[in-house]
Amino acid sequence: MADEREPPPLFENEDSSEKSPLEEKTVEADQEVNLNDDANDDLFSDPPLLETSPAEDKPEAEDEDESSPAAEESGGGGGILDDVEVQEEPPKKEEKKEEKKEEEPEKMDEEEEEEMESGDTFDVDITVSDPQKVGDGMGAYMKYTVVSKTSDPSFKSSEMTVSRRFSDFLGLHQKLVAFHTTKGHIVPPVPEKSVVGMTKVKMGKGQEENNSLEFVEKRRASLERFLNRSAAHPKIRANTDFKEFLEKDEPLPKASNTAALSGAGMMRAFNKVMDSASKVVSKMDESDQWFEEKTQHIDNLDQQLKKLHTSVENMVNHRRELSNATAVFAKSCAMLGNAEEHTALSRAISQLAETEENIEQLQSSQAATDFYVLSELLKDYIGLIAAVREAFREREKTFHNWQTAQTNLAKKREQEAKLKSTGKTEKLPQVEQEIKDWQERVEKGQREFEAISKTIRREVNRFETNRVQDFRSVIIKYLESLMEKQQKLIQYWEAFLPEAKAIA
C-alpha cells in the first residue's frame, strides 16, 4: 500500500474513521490544544471552535512540542491546495479561512504565538533499540525494535512495539519529504545509506568488530532522534504513513526505491541535479525582507555549524587517541612496577598504573559523550538546515509556478484582444475559457505561494526556538558530563596520593 499511494490529502483526518472519536473529544473543552488542530480542519463547519480554541490555551511552560492550531489551519489550507482534485468542501473552507485571515491577520499571529508557546502535551516517546543483523552476506540487513509510548489518543494504543528495518526508515523519510516539504514543513533528517558501513556489518562476523558496533550504535541513535523529532512536529505526527510506521504490527512493504544502487536511486540523483540547476536559473525576486534575511541567516548558521562540527570531531578524535595512549601507558607502567625492586616504590608505581587505567576508562567514555551528545547534535542540525533550505526552495518553486501562470494569463489575454480586434470570433469562447482557467491558476498560485510562505515562517520560528532550546539543554548536559569526569579524576588522584607519599 505504501509504495504506490500518493501522499494522502491533508483532510485524511476527515476521511479516516480514526479521527471521529478525536473530534468528539475535542468538543469536551478541556482538551489540550493539539487535538484541536485536527478538529480545526473541519472547523469551518463549526466556526465557534475557532474562537474558543485559543481561549482554551493556558500558556504552558516551555514545551518543545509546540503546535498552533490556528496556524495549523493555514497549514491545512495550504495543504489543501495541493489537491488539484478539488473537493467541494475544502475550497469553501479555504475561502472562509482566507476571509478570516484577512480580517484578523494580526490577531492570528498573536494567537499563533500563544499557541506555539502553550504547545501540546501529547508526548510521543520513541525508542529504537536492539539492532539485529538478519541474514547473511550481501543480502543481510539490520532490523530495529521501535517502541512508541504516547498519550496521544489518535494512535492505535498508548504503547506500540514494532520491528522495522533500515530501509523502512528511509522509505518513511522519503514519503514525509514528498508530502511535507512541498508544504514548507521541515522534515528532520535521517541517517544516510552508507554502503561502506553496512558492508562492514554485513560481512562482519556478528557482534565482534568494534567498528561495525560503533557504526550500528551511531545509526541507531540517529534513527531514534529522527523519529522523536518527527513525532514532535504536530503535522508529521498526524501523518498516516508516520503513524503506520509506528503502529503496524506487520512488516512494511519493502521500500525498494531506497536501495542505494537502484533505478529509483538514479532517478532521485538525477532529479536532485535538475533541481539545483533550476535553482540557479530561477532566482526569484525576493520581495519579502523576512525571507531574505532568513536565507542569509540560515546560510551563515550552516557555515558556522559545519565549522564547529569539524572542531568537535577533532576533539573527539584526540580524546580517543589520548584514551588509547593512556591505556598503553598504564600497561607499561604496570610492568615497570613489577620490575622495580624497592617494595614501596613498586607498589606505588603499580598503583599509578591502576589509576591511569581508571583514567583511561573515563577518557574513553568522555570521548563517547563528546561524540554522541555534541557532535551528533551538530550533525543533526546541519541536516535540519538542509531541510529548511529544501522548504525555501519549494517556496521558490511555488513562486515560479505563480509567475508562469501570470505570464500565460497575460498571453491569453493578448490573444483574446487580438482575436477581438481581427474579428475572428470562432476561437473566442475557447480563449475566454482558457483565460478563465489561467486566472484560476494565477489565483491558486498566489494562494499557494502565500500559504507556503506563511507555513515556512512558522516552521522556521519553530525551528529556531527548538534549536536554541536543544542546544542549550544538550550543552548543559555535556558540561555536566565533563564536570562528572573531573570529579572522578579528583577521586582517583586523591586515592593515589597516600600511596605515593608512603614511599619510604
Partner 1 sequence: MLNEMDDSPELQNDGKDGDDDGLFDVEDQQKARTDSVDLSSDTSLVVDISDALSERDKVKFTVHTKCKGRTNILDTLTTLPEFSESDFSVTRDHDEFLWLHTMYDENEDYAGVIIPPPPPKPDFDASREKLQKLGEGEGTMTKEEFQKMKAELEAEYLATFKKTVAMHEVFLQRLAAHPTLRTDHNFRVFLEYKQALDVRGRNKKEKFGSLVKLVTKSVDEVLVTGQKDVDPFFERERTFVVEYHNKVKDSTARSDRMTRSNKQIADTYIRVSSGLNALATLEKSDLDNAEAIPESARFFIKVSEMFEKLRKVEARVATDADLKLSDLLRYYMRDTAAAKDLLYRRMRSLVNYQNANKALEKARAKNKEVQQAEKNQEEACNKFEKLSEVAKQELTDYKTRRVAAFKKNLVELAELEVKHAKTQVQLLRNTIATLKEETP
Question: What minimum distance in Å lies between the beta carbon of 321 and partner 1?
Answer: 5
Measured from the CB atom, is 450 or 484 closer to partner 1?
A: 484
Measured from the CB atom, is 69 or 383 closer to partner 1?
A: 383
Question: What minimum distance in Å lies between the beta carbon of 142 and partner 1?
Answer: 33
Measured from the CB atom, is 327 or 428 closer to partner 1?
A: 327
Indicate the pairing of strand 141-150 with strand 159-165: antiparallel
132 φ, ψ to 5°? -125, 140
Indicate the pairing of strand 124-134 with strand 141-150: antiparallel
Measured from the CB atom, is 130 or 321 closer to partner 1?
A: 321
- Residue type at 167 in one-letter notation: S
Question: What minimum distance in Å lies between the beta carbon of 116 and partner 1?
Answer: 14
**In whole angstroms, how far apart are CA 484 and each of 351, 363, 479, 503?**
22, 12, 9, 30
Grid cell for residue 100: 478570516
Measured from the CB atom, is 176 or 460 closer to partner 1?
A: 460
Partners of residue 145 on adjacent β-strands: 129, 163
DSSP E strands in 189-287: the ranges are none
Measured from the CB atom, is 264 or 328 closer to partner 1?
A: 328
Measured from the CB atom, is 264 or 483 closer to partner 1?
A: 483
Question: What minimum distance in Å lies between the beta carbon of 193 and partner 1?
Answer: 29
Going across the sheet that includes 159-165, the strands are 124-134, 141-150, 159-165
Question: What minimum distance in Å lies between the beta carbon of 144 and partner 1?
Answer: 32
25, 15 contact by CB (below 8 A): no
Grid cell for residue 149: 509510548
Binding site for partner 1 (CB under 8 A): 62, 293, 297, 300-301, 304-305, 307-308, 311-312, 314-315, 318-319, 321-322, 325-326, 328-329, 332-333, 335-336, 338-342, 344-345, 348-349, 352, 468, 471-472, 475-476, 479-480, 482-483, 486-487, 489-490, 493-494, 496-497, 500-501, 503
Grid cell for residue 402: 505563480
DSSP state of 375: I
Distance, in Å, from the CA atom of 117 to the CA atom of 469, rounded to the nearest integer, reads 13
Measured from the CB atom, is 338 or 433 closer to partner 1?
A: 338
Distance, in Å, from the CA atom of 35 to the CA atom of 122, rounded to the nearest integer, reads 9
Measured from the CB atom, is 264 or 475 closer to partner 1?
A: 475
Grid cell for residue 118: 502553550
Question: What minimum distance in Å lies between the beta carbon of 374 and partner 1?
Answer: 9
Residue with cell 572542531: 311
200, 209 contact by CB (below 8 A): yes
Conformational region of residue 141, where left means phi above 0, alpha means psi within -120 to 50, and beta covers everything else: beta
Question: What minimum distance in Å lies between the beta carbon of 286 and partner 1?
Answer: 17
